[in-house]
Amino acid sequence: MKTIEDLGDLRGTRVLVRSDFNVPLDGTTITDDGRIRAALPTLTALLEAGARVVVTAHLGRPKGAPEAKYSLAPVAARLGELLGRPVALAQDVVGESARETVAGLADGEIALLENIRFDARETSKVEAERQELAGELAALADAFVSDGFGVVHRKQASVYDVALQLPSAVGSLVLNEVDSLRRATEDPERPYVVVLGGSKVSDKLGVIANLLTKADRLLIGGGMVFTFLAAKGYSVGTSLLEEDQVETVKGYLTTAEERGVEIVLPTDIVVADSFAADAPHDVVAADAMPEGRMGLDIGPESAELFASKIRDARTIVWNGPMGVFEFEAFAAGTRAVAQAMVDAGQDGAFSIVGGGDSAAAVRQLGFDEAGFGHISTGGGASLEFLEGKELPGIAVLEQKTEQ
237-260 pLDDT per residue, tens: 999 999 999 999 999 999 999 999
Helix/strand/coil for 101: helix
Residues comprising the binding site for ATP? 204, 295, 326, 355-358
Note the pLDDT of residue 367.
Answer: 96
Q: Does 387 score more than 90 pLDDT?
A: no
Q: Which of 380, 388, 389, 400 is catalytic?
A: 380
**Strands 315-319 and 350-353, bridge-based pairing:** parallel
Residues comprising the binding site for (2R)-3-phosphoglycerate? 35, 117, 154
pLDDT (average), residues 19-48: 95
Q: Between the CA of residue 358 and those of 124, 151, 193, 322, what are the distances in Å?
A: 30, 17, 16, 9
Q: Does 164 score more than 80 pLDDT?
A: yes
Residues of the chain with CATH 3.40.50.1260: 4-172+392-402, 190-348
Note the pLDDT of residue 355.
Answer: 67
Phi then psi dihedrals of residue 28, to 5 deg: -110, 10
Indicate the pLDDT class of residue 343, thresholds 50, 70 and 90: very high
Residues near 343 by beta carbon (within 8 Å), at least 6 away in sequence: 307, 310, 311
How confident is the prediction for the chain on average, in pLDDT?
96
Note the pLDDT of residue 159.
Answer: 98
The whole-angstrom separation of Cα 142 and Cα 106 is 14
The whole-angstrom separation of Cα 85 and Cα 56 is 18
Residues comprising the binding site for substrate? 20-22, 35, 58-61, 117, 154
Indicate the pLDDT class of residue 403, thresholds 50, 70 and 90: low
Helix/strand/coil for 70: helix
Residues near 162 by beta carbon (within 8 Å), at least 6 away in sequence: 16, 18, 134, 137, 138, 144
Note the pLDDT of residue 374.
Answer: 93
Q: Which of 18, 35, 121, 217 is catalytic?
A: 35
Note the pLDDT of residue 241.
Answer: 96
Note the pLDDT of residue 81.
Answer: 98
* Residue 248, amino acid: T
Q: Where are the beta strands (DSSP E) in 231-349?
A: 262-264, 268-272, 281-285, 294-298, 315-319
* Annotation marks residue 69 as catalytic: no
Q: Which of 148, 320, 356, 371 is catalytic?
A: 356
Note the pLDDT of residue 401.
Answer: 77
Asked if residue 54 lies in contact with residue 140, where contact means CB atoms within 8 angstroms, the answer is yes
User: Is it true that domain 4-172+392-402 has CATH number 3.40.50.1260?
Assistant: yes
Phi then psi dihedrals of residue 331, to 5 deg: -105, -10
Indicate the pLDDT class of residue 118, thresholds 50, 70 and 90: very high
State if pTM tops 0.85.
Answer: yes
* Annotation marks residue 356 as catalytic: yes
Q: Which of 2, 99, 200, 311 is catalytic?
A: 200
Percentage of the chain exceeding pLDDT 70? 100
pLDDT (average), residues 383-393: 92
Tell me the CATH architecture of domain 190-348. 3-Layer(aba) Sandwich (3.40)
* Annotation marks residue 335 as catalytic: no
* Annotation marks residue 380 as catalytic: yes
Residues comprising the binding site? 20-22, 35, 58-61, 117, 154, 204, 295, 326, 355-358
User: Which residues are bridge partners to 18 per DSSP?
Assistant: 56, 146
